[in-house]
Amino acid sequence: MLCISKDLLASTWRHLRAEFPGEGVGLWAGCWGLVTQVHPLPNVHPKPHQSYEADPVELLRTLQGLEAAGLELLAIYHSHPTGPARPSPTDTSKAYWRVPYVIFALESSEVRAYRLPEGEEVGIEIRQ
Ligand SMILES: [Zn+2]
């Protein structure tokens, strides 16, 4: 289970809508499943309208910052500019993190989280 405030969820939506029509990617961090930070990352995939790849330098810098702050990586999020909030075959085949993958579907304004590659859904609790 992931918990996030309405405000941080809204700021994640703002980041991902700003990346449209490309896919956006970033990290949720915090502790004990409660998200306290949203970290947008540049999508450096050569075809950003079809897939995502977080900039490795920014990713590493962000992870080091979390470690220094005593925070955990809680989830990786990305957007589907079109299509459902379900993992694509590419999402599943490239899933090497053990944290949940959160998928934001821009058309339907739906957000869902999954453990990948298993595909098991993870709940998201939205707090005030
Ligand atoms: Zn995807």
pLDDT digits (tens, 9 = 90+) for 103-112: 999 999 999 9
Cα(71)–Cα(38) distance, integer angstroms: 12
Query: From the CB of residue 21, how many other CB atoms can be counted at a distance below 10 Å?
Result: 9
CA 118 to ligand 1 centroid distance, Å: 15
CA 109 to ligand 1 centroid distance, Å: 15
Tell me the domain boundaries of the chain: 2-127
pLDDT digits (tens, 9 = 90+) for 68-96: 999 999 999 999 999 999 999 999 999 98
By DSSP bridging, strand 110-115 and strand 72-80 are unpaired
CA 41 to ligand 1 centroid distance, Å: 15
Cα(71)–Cα(85) distance, integer angstroms: 27
The pLDDT score that the predictor gives to residue 77 is 98
The CATH architecture of the domain made up of 2-127 is 3-Layer(aba) Sandwich (3.40)
Q: Which one of the listed residues 19, 23, 53, 72 is annotated catalytic?
A: 23
> How far is the CA of 101 from the CAs of 30, 69, 94, in angstroms?
15, 22, 11
pLDDT digits (tens, 9 = 90+) for 36-78: 999 999 999 999 999 999 999 999 999 999 999 999 999 999 9
The pLDDT score that the predictor gives to residue 114 is 98
